Amino acid sequence: SAVISQKPSRDICQRGTSLTIQCQVDSQVTMMFWYRQQPGQSLTLIATANQGSEATYESGFVIDKFPISRPNLTFSTLTVSNMSPEDSSIYLCSVGGGNSPLHFGNGTRLTVT
């Protein structure tokens, strides 16, 4: 299974600032997925990052708030922009899905004060 390195593992940020989360996979993958897990909640898909094209965002998530880069087949970044306390969550990148297991990075625990 893919090994996914995600950083930072946690951060405390002030409202109005932005944080970029990095995700590195040890093998080439076509699609990478970014999830958000709010405290005590389930996992919600933010967007699908495809190499060479713009990310596909789910309902309720917009590019201006969560810009995503996918410069190659092993790397992606998610930026949480203009943060507010409501953005405090765990953000997870993942690969796989469909009829294959979904493997997650260790997550980024974000606290916005």
| By CB under 8 A, residue 99 contacts other proteins | yes
Containing H/E element for 12?
strand 10-13
Among 5, 18, 30, 100, binds other proteins (CB under 8 A): 100
| By CB under 8 A, residue 8 contacts other proteins | no
Among 42, 53, 60, 86, binds other proteins (CB under 8 A): 42
| By CB under 8 A, residue 43 contacts other proteins | yes
Among 34, 70, 104, 112, binds other proteins (CB under 8 A): 104
106, 40 contact by CB (below 8 A): no
- Total residues contacting other proteins (rule CB under 8 A)? 19
SS3 letters across 38-51: CCCCCEEEEEEEEC
| By CB under 8 A, residue 34 contacts other proteins | no
Least distance CB 15 / other proteins (angstroms): 25
Least distance CB 45 / other proteins (angstroms): 7
SS3 letters across 50-95: ECCCCCEECCCCCCCCCCEEEEECCEEEEEECCCCHHHCEEEEEEE
19, 32 contact by CB (below 8 A): no
Contacting residues toward other proteins, per CB under 8 A: 1, 33, 41-45, 92, 97-107
